Each structure stands twice: as C-alpha cells, then as structure tokens.
Amino acid sequence: MSPVTRIAIIGGGPAGYEAATVAAELGADVTLIETDGVGGACVLYDCVPSKTLIATSERVTAFRSAPSLGVCSNHAAEVNVNLRVVNERVLALAASQSTDIHERLVKAGVTVIAGRARFSPQQSGRTFLLDVVGNGKQPDDQHAVPADVVLLATGGTPRVLPGAEPDGERILSWRDLYTLQDVPEHLIVVGSGVTGAEFASAYSEMGVPVTLVSSRAKVLPGEDPDAADVIEKVFTEHGGSLMKHARAAAVIRSADGAGVEVTLTDGRMVTGSHVLMCVGSVPNTAALGLEHVGLAPDEHGFLTVDRVSRTAIPGVYAAGDCTGVLLLASVAAMQGRVAMWHALGEAVQPLRLKTVAANVFTHPEIATVGIGHEAVTSGAVPARTVTLPLARNARAKMQGLADGYVKLYCRSATGVVIGGSVVAPQASELILQITTAVQLGLTVNELAATFAVYPSLSGSITEAARQLTQHDDLD
Ligand SMILES: Cc1cc2nc3c(=O)[nH]c(=O)nc-3n(C[C@H](O)[C@H](O)[C@H](O)COP(=O)(O)OP(=O)(O)OC[C@H]3O[C@@H](n4cnc5c(N)ncnc54)[C@H](O)[C@@H]3O)c2cc1C
C-alpha cells in the first residue's frame, strides 16, 4: 500500500478550499492554513460581499422601474437604501458562507489551521517544511507542518496608489465599503475596470451621485466595446457622470475632513464625499519564504504555473489570483482542483482558458465566453458573427428591457461555436448555454436545433445560431 500523501495548502479562498476538498476525497492527508477565514478574500471581502450588495441595487432598479409595468404604490417615487442594514446583511452573509465552507472542510477530514504560513528556512530533503504562526484563535500558536506537496493559494490584496492611501473612512478600498453606515453624498470611483464599473453601477442604481474616473476612452477595457457602450449609457441614465482620459495622481481629505479631493494627472480636480479606489490588486507572494525552496515570483509578483498548476519546483503547485492567470473565483477553484488531481496521479485535463465564462455584474450584466471581439476584429481568429439586440426579443419587451444584446461567434468554415457574449440582466445565467456549446464544440446547426422556451431571453441565443446557420446555407 502506498503511503498517504501529505498535502499542505496555504490560503483558504476558492483555489485553496476546492483543492482541499478534492485532495481529501482522494484520500490525502490535507492541512489548510488560512489567516483570515475559510472562503478567503473571495468570500469575506471581495466577490461575495460585492455581489450581495449588487443584489440590493438590483432590487432598487426593479422597484424604480415598476411603475412602467403598471405597478404603483403611494411611495413608488421614493426609494431609500438603508446602507447600515445592507452592509450588516452583506457581512453576515459572508461570515455565514465562510462558516459553511469551514464546516464542509472539517467534515471532509481536512485539518484547518488559523494562521499565517511560509516555507521554513530549514527544508528537509523531499519533505517540505512550513512554519505557521497562529492568529491567536487557537491554544498552540506555532506549528511546523511537513508536507509532500504544497499548494500556494494566497490570492491578492487591493493595489494602493502612492499618494492615494485609503484611510478607511473617506478614502476607501473596496474592502472598506462595508463599514459605511450611510450612503455617500457623492462617491468618486477611481478605476473603470470590472471592480470599479461594478461598484459605480451598483451605487448609482442605489441613487448615489457617482463620478467614475476612467483613464481610458471607454470603461471596461478588455471587454467588447459594444458592451462598454451599453454600460456607459445605462450608467449616465442612472445619473452617473463619467470622466474619460482621466488618471488619478493623488487623493486627499478636504481641509474640513468632510470630503475628498482627487487630483488628476492633467491638473483637473474632482471633489466628493468619498472616493473608492479600484486600481487593481497585487498578489500575496512577498512573505512566503519562497527563496527557501528556490522559487521566485515574476516581476509583477505572480507565481508562474503551467496548465496543471505546477510551479518550477517539483511538488510545489500554485493556484488562483497569486498566479495571475485569470483573476476569477471559478478559475482559481479549477486551478486548485487540477493541481490536486495532478499531484495525486489522477487523470487530469489541463486548464482551458478558451472555455472560461466570465461576468461583469453591472446593470445590465456582461457575460462572455471563448473568443471575443478583439480576437475576431483584429483578424487573429477568422469567425462569423451575429448580434441580436435584446430590444427585439419578445420576452425582453414584456419585461420592459431595452438595453443589451446576444452576440455569437462561430468558425467561418465549420460553424463550430467558439464564443459569445450576452449583455442583459441575468446574463451570468444565460451565458451557460453558449459556454456549453463552446466546451462541447457544438456547431451553430446543433445549437439552432435546440429548443428554447418561448418566450425567453435564451431564445435569442438559438435565434442567433439560426441566423449563422442561414449564412452557412449560403456559403
Ligand atoms: C470586488 C471584487 C469582486 C469580485 N467578484 C468576482 C465575481 O463576481 N466572480 C468571480 O469569479 N471572481 C470575482 N472576483 C475575483 C475573485 O474574488 C478572486 O479571483 C478569488 O478570490 C481568487 O481566489 P483565491 O483562492 O486565489 O484567493 P483569495 O480568495 O484571495 O484567498 C486567498 C486567501 O489566502 C490567505 N493568505 C494569504 N497569504 C497567506 C499565508 N501566508 N498564510 C495563510 N493564509 C494566507 C488570504 O488571507 C486569503 O484569505 C472579485 C474580486 C474583487 C476584488
């Protein structure tokens, strides 16, 4: 009988906890070390809290638009958000999600240590040694954890712009938002990437005057420009204002302390009551004692991995945001699982980024999968495409939805579906159908022959496939 493999996982976010679950199921002896709480930054500070907040902002929009569908109340014109209640709900939900995951891990047989881990300066042959300093929540605060395999899943931290350091009161990182007791009088959001766009959209839906400071010509660089156009239109319709080609140089509290002043690199200044800094994140790889096992991060601090999550050091794997592969919880989780399948000798399919579905939780949402606008318009990938505006979909009309579309890409010669995007409320749910087609290599003919419910938004996906099929017939 082969000896049980000892696996140590540093970091309890999606990469770490999914890996721990898989490894425990496969019979390994698994120890997971997490400093803040199981679920990691994803559950406690980033993804879960932000999407819970957005659930509130969606309700506000539904409430506001209700009169256009004939729903009236005496107070229909007045919608107020009690941010203290919202944030209490957000934090309670995150804590309970963390507890759920913790309990699941313990039940699966994983040893969970609350503490901070790093490679020990004393390494011992083929066994890795980790030093763990507890966070005071457990009686024995120092641990030495030996392991045959180590998974680094340490995630990232909000990037701080020098001269714009968060103070937790008015100059905020996205992790400070949930301490706010009242809605800001005027929120400035610096950074129009996914995080900035999501918070700008959510707060403006909640009736807060928002100024979004974007260093680019369009918000959401990297997304389809058609989608960015829709988001900009809806954001401004909600009363948000957009500053383009605007890069923040410094952020300070105003002289009376009751507001903030954002100075741009071109000398312009924006004032507001609060500023939210969304200028990316940095990987948590600086204090892991990597040098003791001969591992070095790249120039941006990321750990380079291959498609089965191996680093350059045999037996040391890395997964999730600390690798910089794609900063998504779903990708982190898959990298973590793949690492364990590989380490424990299971059959494993290397990570395929072309099949990753991603969503921007703005209003409306933007969901994408596979080959996208940039690859097709640059000519890098020959493809045929069709775009169907939501405004023509019967169900969308019934629901009073005007903004958004379904876009599908297929290979020019074969009609195999290689990508698509959906801009709609609940696009995150609708994209699965295109993702399935991309994952299974379905053709537009096969997708077109699939029944969609009538009337439904997903009917636009099969209709798009039908239109590409008709093109096929003409080829
Ligand atoms: C505002 C926001 C919203 C997001 N929304 C989404 C979304 O809707 N969908 C999506 O897919 N992704 C979303 N993401 C991205 C997602 O949160 C990350 O991709 C995901 O958290 C990565 O998981 P991870 O396991 O790599 O790391 P994390 O979730 O960051 O967890 C890593 C953990 O490791 C711990 N750690 C670090 N160093 C040590 C150490 N030395 N010892 C012990 N523990 C350590 C950290 O404390 C942390 O808890 C969002 C990100 C942000 C910022």
Task: Determine the distance separating the centroid of ligand 1 and the alpha carbon of 329, expressed in angstroms.
Answer: 7
pLDDT score of 30 more than 90: yes
Rounded-to-integer distance, Cα 263 and Cα 259, Å: 13
Domain boundary, last residue among 222, 245, 279: 279
pTM of the full predicted structure? 0.96
Query: When comparing pLDDT for 276 and 124, which is higher?
Result: 276
Tokens at 460, concatenated: 């636009």
Residues 173 and 136 in one domain: no
98 shares a domain with 15: yes
Confidence of residue 143 (pLDDT cuts 50, 70, 90): confident
Residue tagged 């004692």 (tokens): 289
Host H or E run for residue 172: strand 171-173
**Nearest to 201, CA basis, from 229, 234, 153, 156:** 234
Which residue has a Cα nearest atom 6 of ligand 1?
47
Region 341-361 average pLDDT: 96
425-442: pLDDT as tens digits = 999 999 999 999 999 999
pLDDT score at 98 = 98
* Span 33-46, average pLDDT: 98
The residue out of 309, 332, 353 marking a domain boundary is: 353
Average pLDDT (175-180) is: 97
Q: pLDDT band for 135, please (50, 70, 90 cuts).
A: confident
Of 165, 326, 357, the C-alpha closest to 251 is 165
448 contacts 466 by C-beta, under 8 angstroms? yes
Instruction: Examine the domain organization and report whether 403 and 308 are in the same domain.
Output: no
215-226 average pLDDT score: 93
Angle at alpha carbon of residue 381, lines to 375 and 385, rounded to 5°:
80
**Where is the domain boundary, 301, 328, 353?**
353
Whether residue 107 is found in the same domain as residue 186: no
Q: What percentage of the chain reaches a pLDDT higher than 70?
A: 96
**Pair 302, 390 in one domain:** no
**pLDDT score of 124:** 82
Mean pLDDT of the 129-154 span: 86
> Which atom, in ligand 1's list, is nearest to the CA of 319?
26
349 and 456 in a single domain? The answer is: no
User: Are 401 and 345 in a shared domain?
Assistant: no
User: How far from 380 is each of 228, 267, 303, 371, CA to CA, in Å?
Assistant: 22, 39, 28, 10
Query: Could you read off the pLDDT of 315-342 as tens digits, one per residue?
Result: 999 999 999 999 999 999 999 999 999 9
- Within-domain flag for 93: yes
pLDDT at 136 over 70: no
Tell me which residue of 111, 110, 113, 124 sits closest to 37, measured CA to CA.
113
306: containing domain:
6-47+86-157+282-353
Ramachandran bin of 27, using left for φ above 0, alpha for ψ from -120 to 50, beta for the remaining angles: left
- Mean of the pLDDT values across residues 240-267? 95
Task: Return the sign of the alpha-carbon dihedral for residues 360, 363, 368, 372.
Answer: negative
At residue 470 the predicted structure's pLDDT band, cuts being 50, 70 and 90, is: low
CA 131 – CA 115 distance, rounded (Å)? 10
In a domain, 65, yes or no: no
Sheet holding 210-213, edge to edge: 171-173, 274-277, 187-190, 210-213, 241-243
Flag whether 217 is in a domain.
yes
Same domain for 152 and 42: yes
Q: What's 174's domain CATH number? A: 3.50.50.60
DSSP letters spanning 237-302: HTT-EEE-S--EEEEEE-TTSSSEEEEETTS-EEEESEEEE---EEES-TTS-GGGGT----TTSP
The interaxial angle of helices 329-343 and 14-25, nearest 10 deg, is 30
Domain co-membership, 103 together with 223 = no
DSSP-based three-state secondary structure for 466: helix
**CA–centroid distance, residue 156 to ligand 1 (Å):** 6
Predicted local distance difference test score (pLDDT) of residue 139: 56
Residue 93 burial (C-beta neighbours within 10 Å; 0-12, 13-18, 19+): middle
pLDDT tens string 55-106: 999 999 999 888 899 988 776 567 889 999 999 999 999 999 999 999 999 9
pLDDT tens-place string over residues 378-397: 999 999 999 999 999 999 99
- Ligand 1 atom with the shortest distance to the CA of 33: 43
Supply the pLDDT for residue 472: 52
Q: Best of 46, 98, 119, 302 to mutate for ligand 1, by most ligand atoms within 8 A of CB? A: 46
How big, in percent rounded to 5, are the helix, strand and coil portions of the chain? 35, 25, 40
Cis amide prior to 382 (ω within 30 degrees): no
Distance 140 CA to ligand 1 centre (A): 27
